[in-house]
Amino acid sequence: MLIVGAGPTGLYAAYYAGFRGLKVAVLDSLPEIGGQITAMYPEKMIYDVAGFPAVKGQDLVDALGEQAAPFEPVYLLGHRAEQLVHGDDAVVVTCHTGLVVTAKVVLISGGIGTFSPRPLPAADAFDGEGVVFFVPRLAELADLDVLIVGGGDSAFDWAMSLEPLAKSITLVHRRDKFRAHEHTVQRVLASSVEVITSAEVTALQGNGRVESAVITAKEDGAQRTVPAQAVVAALGFVADLGPMSRWGLEQRKRHILVDSTMRTNLPRVFAAGDIADYDGKVKLIATGFGEAATAVNNAMTVIDPSAKVFPGHSSDSG
């Protein structure tokens, strides 16, 4: 089995495929396993994974990697899948690096596909450093004046997480209403974070590295300058299936349609996790884990028609 995507769903699929006796390769364009978690919020706490009252993102990725490790999956990191050709008994995937992988089945678990951050217009004219789109390591912003731009969950989560570490935090949002979870919004409003609404960051200032930012009120154009040695542009990301959109997969709103067995419309190609879609879909990490097991078990019957879909319980196998 070739798994395209090394996020939580792909890592759990690597374990489950190994449990079912398959040789597994895991392909990802990023240089590390973990997908969006490792790239965007490794130090954030996750609260909706079964069995964990709370778990840090990177700790969850590490545990998933440890779970799969006994089955020795081959990790092909830094390779972006470009072309897929399916035949009667195999699927061939060619990467942008020239790597060619042939597998009996392919499981696409690429999250939202490739993702790129929405730009902060004020940063276009600023040549220095200090502007980031996510915070892989909170400690890197310790003792700094931090400016966070955005009104969604990421902006408020980072404000809450950085508040004990940063020298000061200012959060700017162009509207007076927020997209973030209400509970988190209330916690931030009750903290030392200064929240400025109906305003935009119109300029960044500094010599080589950002030192301050100009904030302009949308209603009357009034301006103020705040210190900022770090700017977190939490404006969201644009998702793109990239080359996968040309593989002939049936899609709906940049997602891959699957049936109840997680099969796509292409022979020997399955999908699971956030990239997969069907009526009633709920996008949770926990959902992806179940979809991964469903996909692997049904893929077994494609590889070996004599195999059973249900393998029995792991507690019976030792």
Annotated binding-site positions for FAD:
9, 28, 36, 41, 81, 115, 274, 315
Q: Which residues are annotated as a binding site?
A: 9, 28, 36, 41, 81, 115, 274, 315
Per DSSP, 43 falls in state T
CB 135 within 8 A of CB 43: yes
Contact between residue 61 and residue 11 where contact means Cβ atoms under 8 Å apart: yes
Instruction: Say how far apart CA 204 and CA 125 lie, in whole Å.
Output: 8
Residue listed under structure tokens 């469903």 = 294
CB atoms within 10 A of CB 50: 9
Closest CA to 270 of 13, 28, 25, 54: 13
The dihedral built from the CA positions of residue 273, 275, 280 and 285, taken in this order, carries a sign that is: positive
Longest CA pairwise span in the chain (Å): 72
Q: Directed axis angle between helix 57-68 and helix 8-19, to 10°?
A: 20
Give every CB contact of residue 57 below 8 A, 6+ residues apart in sequence: 34, 37, 38, 41, 42, 43, 44, 45, 46
Q: Angle at the Cα of 42 (from 243 to 115), degrees rounded to 5?
A: 20
Q: What value does the CA radius of gyration of the chain take, rounded to a whole number of Å?
A: 22
Burial profile 5-38: b = 16 or more Cβ within 10 angstroms, e = fewer: bbbbbbbbbbbbbbbbebebbbbbbbebbbbbbb
Is residue 90 within 8 Å of residue 37, measured between CB atoms? no
